[in-house]
Amino acid sequence: MKIFRKVTEMPWLEPGIPDDAEVPGDDAGRPKMVALAMFLAVVTSVFFLFVMAYVERMELDDWNPVNEPRLLWLNTLFLIVGSVAMQRTRKLANSGVTRLNGPLLLGGLMAIGFLAGQYLAWQALRDTGLYALTNPASAFFYLLTAVHALHLLGGLYVWARTVWRSLQGGDANRIRISVELCSVYWHYLLLVWLALFALMLST
């Protein structure tokens, strides 16, 4: 469980990097961005190990491929739209806008829609008799999608804080940094999901 806690920690929110840290000029968000980059490097390594285990495990005789629910295509679209919305928010924040309610809310709502869709996809699999312990393929499906969803939930926590600041008309620089972090994280999780989805579809 210790390693699980490590890969779900968000170091850019730790006390060592205060939310209102004062750094001159355009470098104000650099400490948090570096922390985020380090976190994503660790998460990438973990997902890579999962994928390697997936590829090796599927070579054994007891592997029965899972027919992925079609709903996953809609869920993928949610993530794509959310990523585009967060990029739009990032551009607005960099231009000095502090009230980013429209695209910022859309980005988060798409992520929430994705999570709701994933739950429905899991329910659809359970309705067909496929549970986490039914066979190795279904176990990996639940594991990979659940770990990805958990990281997205963590991103929604940062997003909610950013929405609150935007609604309150907070400091433009602090909002910009939060939006930068959210947008990078959204893009990253989209890429991870596309890779996982492609892997599951091809096997």
CATH assignment at residue 126: 1.20.120.80
In the predicted model, is pLDDT for residue 10 greater than 60?
Answer: no
**How far apart (Å, rounded) are the C-alpha atoms in residues 156 and 153?**
5
* pLDDT at site 23: 40
Query: Is the pLDDT assigned to residue 77 strictly greater than 50?
Result: yes
DSSP code at position 15: T
Q: What is the pLDDT of residue 18?
A: 47
The one-character DSSP state at 31 is H
Instruction: Identify the pLDDT of residue 24.
Output: 40
Across 104-119, average pLDDT: 96
CA-to-CA distance for 116 and 75, rounded, in angstroms?
9
pLDDT on residue 169:
74
Domain that holds residue 121: 2-202
- Token pair for residue 95? 């231009």
Total domain count, the chain: 1
CB count in 10 Å sphere of residue 55: 11
More confident residue, 163 or 193: 193
- Is the pLDDT at 38 greater than 60, yes or no? yes
Q: What does pTM read for this prediction?
A: 0.83
If you average pLDDT over residues 177-193, what whole number do you get?
A: 94
